[in-house]
C-alpha cells in the first residue's frame, strides 16, 4: 500500500523499500517516489520534509513530461536494425573519443536507457528501439563518455557537448520519451 505526503497542493504517493545500505535515498526514476532506506531507519518523515521541494519539483516535471509524451509518435526499429544501429554508433563514438569497448549488451532495463560498467561493458535498454535515431546516437555517446569521466560533472558534459551541443534538449527529449514509451507499452 502506498503512503502519501502532502506537498503544496498535491498528494504525492510513495513506497518505502528497506535495504542493506548505509545512506537513505529518494528515487523518482519511474515516475513514482521510492524511499530506499537502510534497515532500522526511523526518520522517513524527516527525510521527506527535508527534500519536499525537490520531490515537488521532480513530480511536476514528470507530470509535464507525461503530457508532452502523449504528443510523441513512437516507432519501432526492428531488432536487427536496432542492434546494427547501436553497434555503428558505438564504433563511431568510441573511435572519436579514443576508447575501447569490451562488450555491448542489449536487454530490458527498468529505470535507465543504458549503463556503462568499469569493465568497459555497455548495456543498452531494449526499449531504445522505440527512440528516434538521433536519441539512440546520443545515448551511445553519453555512455561512451562515461569511460573517460564516470560522473556527470563539468568535464563529462564538455565531452558530450563536443558531439551534441544541444545535449540538454536531448536529455529533455529522453525524459519525455521515457514516459511516452511506458504509456504506449503499458510497462
**pLDDT for 149-158, tens place per residue?**
999 999 999 9
Q: What is the pLDDT of residues 104-160, one digit of tens each?
A: 999 999 889 999 999 999 999 999 999 999 999 999 999 999 999 999 999 999 999
pTM: 0.77
| Residue 24 lies inside a defined structural domain of this protein | yes
Range(s) of the domain holding residue 152 = 79-185
Angle at which helices 167-185 and 52-69 pack, to 10 degrees? Answer: 70
Sequence-separated (6 or more) residues with CB below 8 Å from residue 12? 4, 5, 6, 33, 55, 56, 59
Q: Are 146 and 101 in contact (CB under 8 A)?
A: no
Residues 136 and 167 both lie in one domain? yes
Single out the residue in 14, 40, 69 at which a domain terminates.
Answer: 69
Residue 104's contacts (CB-CB under 8 Å, 6 or more residues apart) are 86, 87, 90, 121, 122, 123, 124
CATH number for 106: 3.30.2010.10
Amino acid at each position: 500500500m502506498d503512503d502519501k505526503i502532502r506537498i503544496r497542493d498535491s498528494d504525492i504517493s510513495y513506497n518505502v523499500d528497506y535495504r542493506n545500505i548505509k545512506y537513505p535515498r529518494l528515487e523518482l526514476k519511474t515516475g513514482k517516489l521510492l524511499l530506499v532506506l537502510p534497515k532500522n531507519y526511523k526518520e522517513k518523515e524527516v527525510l521527506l520534509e527535508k527534500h519536499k521541494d525537490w520531490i515537488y519539483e521532480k513530480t511536476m516535471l514528470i507530470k509535464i513530461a507525461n503530457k508532452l509524451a502523449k504528443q510523441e509518435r513512437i516507432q519501432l526499429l526492428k531488432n536487427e536494425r536496432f542492434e546494427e544501429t547501436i553497434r555503428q554508433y558505438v564504433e563511431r563514438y568510441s573511435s572519436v573519443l579514443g576508447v575501447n569497448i569490451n562488450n555491448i549488451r542489449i536487454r530490458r532495463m527498468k529505470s535507465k536507457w543504458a549503463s556503462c560498467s568499469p569493465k568497459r561493458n555497455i548495456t543498452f535498454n531494449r526499449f531504445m528501439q522505440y527512440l528516434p535515431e538521433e536519441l539512440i546516437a546520443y545515448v551511445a555517446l553519453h555512455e561512451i563518455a562515461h569511460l573517460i569521466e564516470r560522473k556527470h560533472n563539468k568535464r563529462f558534459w564538455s565531452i558530450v557537448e563536443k558531439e551534441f551541443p544541444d545535449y540538454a534538449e536531448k536529455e529533455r527529449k529522453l525524459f519525455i520519451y521515457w514516459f511516452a514509451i511506458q504509456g504506449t507499452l503499458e510497462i
